[in-house]
Chains A and B, each alone.
Chain A
Amino acid sequence: MSTLLTLAPEFASVVALPAADVPPSVPRADFSDTPIWLSAVKALLLFVFLLLNTLVVIWFERRVIGRMQNRPGPNRAGPFGLMQTLFDGLKSLFKEDVKPAAADAFLFTLAPILFATMAFVSFAIIPLGGTVNLFGHQTPLQLTDLSVAALLVLAVAGVAAYGVILAGWSSGSTYPLLGGLRSTAQVISYEIAMGLALVAVFLYSGSMSTSQIVEAQRNLWYIVPAFISFVVYVITMVGETNRIPFDLAEGEGELVAGYHTEYSGFRFAMYYLGEYINMFTVSALATTMFLGGWHAPLPFNLIGDGYFDSGWWGLLWFTIKMWLFMFFFVWLRGTLPRTRYDQFMAFGWKLLIPGTLLWVMAVAFIRGAQLGFLGDSSIAIAGREIPIATLIVIGVLLVAVLVVLWLWETKMTEREEAAAKAADVPEEIDPYAGGYPVPPLPGQRLREPSTYPALPRAGATATVVDTPTVENKEA
């Protein structure tokens, strides 16, 4: 292990276990000085923080999308339209609560409450800053931490899916049911890739506790060694929150409004609220896992022996990073069209899941090489000791990537050639070849048929296209 620590210092923290006083499986954040009433106060403060952020983000989205579409966005309700969200929320409070007769009353009311509540819960384990002094107690700026905190977030996201499917089913009508099913299928398909992307982060940090993960990124943010995980996570987080380009569940024009067609008034507002809070949660999780949580970015954490990298300053950096993700969400919405459902599912199941699994295996091998499972010898390159095993593993991975790219390239060129050949217009055609007379394309000649075939009678079916046959199924 000592030979490994002579690597560049920024890699040392990735390789070595965190400080021996706290084993990685136990959360690093120290809650010993936090009495219960202080936890309750922190819960209230965090709740207010979330709601304020939600108010601002709804306004922010509408303004930014407006500007992207060359229009002002809301600017009448309050200065710069800032009160727009609040007024909209109050308005929905005063709307009539319509419930269709065919709806299952209990579930119809329970579903939005479940959805909104579960959206809030995940934020409890996100570290928002370092240890601060609140009302005379030293407490971390984090509501709570568990040794399986990241797993809690994934679990709660699964429960939130209940809110969707129950809404769809309990509305008692076809469009919401189909919308709810499609949305749930979408969420669970991408949840797998999300979990797998995070496995690479756990391999590096040796822990699922958010405070430990943030601490392990003190010197190097995980976006660098786990870059592919980051890309996959960003894609899946857009898929999980039903945002454009993946908002197929509520695609207007396809399924009316999807699973919340029958909802009005504040019940609908709960879904709206829940969607934005979900966006915050996944952005916060991305910040924690990949962008170093509340740590200051590179120039700032070197100033003044880490003054900007502790305590209340952490809240500032965290909020900036989270809002970068929110801007990214809004930018996507303003720019991209919606994908088609089967394209979306094919992308998730056929590309993301196997790709992420292979990436996790690759990271496991790289970590194994770094930790010395594959042998201890190392060579010196440019003054640093690098284990031979790491070089071999990275070499093998590069070769594998090149081979895959070469194969894909070959298949693409083959396909293009086949398409070009199929698009070739033959010089001379028989106009009755398909059973019906066809006119010639520009540059074509018609061959005179020897006998004119009898045209099919009206009403007789030539080939039944609707019956499924095994020819159009896969092997």
Chain B
Amino acid sequence: MIDNPYVPLLFFMTLGLLFAAGSVGAGQLIGPKKANAAKAMPYECGLQPSPKAEEGGRVPIKYYLTAMLFIIFDVESLFLFPFAVAFNQLGLFALVEMVLFVITVFVAYAYVWRRGGLNWD
């Protein structure tokens, strides 16, 4: 475990966590506590909050579309990372195969573009 490269990372993360949690905790301890009803209501520029704010509201469907497209392209770039790192040993076959893979993804991308999936409206 001594030469595990993730151990210093763990130290660093712990430092960050202690700092963040500690400051937030300190803020909660040190700061004044004068609660009133107006502070507990959601902020809507001084207007009365609309009732649908209670359960958080429904998520419009275009966010789901963006998330799905993100997954597809992120997985594509996941495949590109090991290809790039091992490129020297792989040879022409891998280059051609990766080009075919990217072309396949481009076909799907063209379809999504033409259908308006990339329009944010």
Contact = CB atoms under 8 A, between A and B. Distances in A.
A and B touch in the complex (CB under 8 A): yes
Contacts of A341: 120
B85 A208 contact: yes
A235 interface: no
Nearest to A93: B27
A129 to B, nearest CB: 16
Contact of A361 (B6, B28, B74, B99): B99
Contacts of B54: 102, 172
Given A357-B106, A475-B114, A47 B15 contact: yes
B81 A95 contact: no
Contacts of B95: 364-365, 368, 373
Interface string B12-44: 110111011101101110111111000111111
Contacts of B70: 188-189, 191-192
Interface-centre pick from A109, A112, A117 (highest chain B CB count, 10 A):
A117
B89 to A, nearest CB: 9
A113 B31 contact: no
A27 B5 contact: yes
B20 A116 contact: yes
Contact of B50 (A174, A196, A368): A174
A173 B42 contact: yes
Nearest to A262: B43
Interface in B55-76: 56-57, 59-60, 63, 66-67, 69-70, 73-74
Contacts, number: 238
A42 B26 CA distance: 26
A353 B67 CA distance: 15
Nearest to A32: B3
A365 B102 CA distance: 13
A72 interface: no
B48 interface: no
A259 to B, nearest CB: 13
Contact of A47 (B19, B52, B109): B19
A188 B65 CA distance: 12
Contacts of B43: 100, 173, 175, 256, 261-262
Interface stretch (A238-246, A263-271, A310-318, A319-327): A263-271
Contacts of A196: 77, 80
Contacts of B21: 113
B interface SS class: helix
A270 B85 CA distance: 36
Interface residues of B, number: 74
A46 to B, nearest CB: 7
A339 to B, nearest CB: 12
A interface SS class: helix
A342 B121 contact: yes
A25 interface: yes
A400 to B, nearest CB: 14
Interface in A188-228: 188-189, 191-192, 195-196, 199-200, 202-203, 206-208
B113 to A, nearest CB: 7
Nearest to A208: B85
A206 B120 contact: no
A113 B66 contact: no
B16 A206 contact: no
Interface-centre pick from B26, B35, B40, B77 (highest chain A CB count, 10 A):
B77
Contact of A195 (B2, B16, B74, B116): B74
A174 B120 CA distance: 19
A474 B113 CA distance: 9
Contacts of B31: 93-97, 265-266
11 contacts: A24-B85, A39-B8, A93-B27, A93-B30, A96-B34, A120-B16, A124-B13, A192-B74, A261-B43, A361-B98, A368-B95
The 5 closest A-B pairs by CB, nearest first: A173-B42, A266-B27, A120-B16, A474-B116, A202-B84
Given A93-B23, A175-B43, A175-B44, 13 more contacts: A93-B27, A96-B31, A98-B40, A174-B42, A174-B44, A174-B50, A174-B57, A188-B74, A192-B70, A196-B80, A354-B106, A360-B84, A368-B92
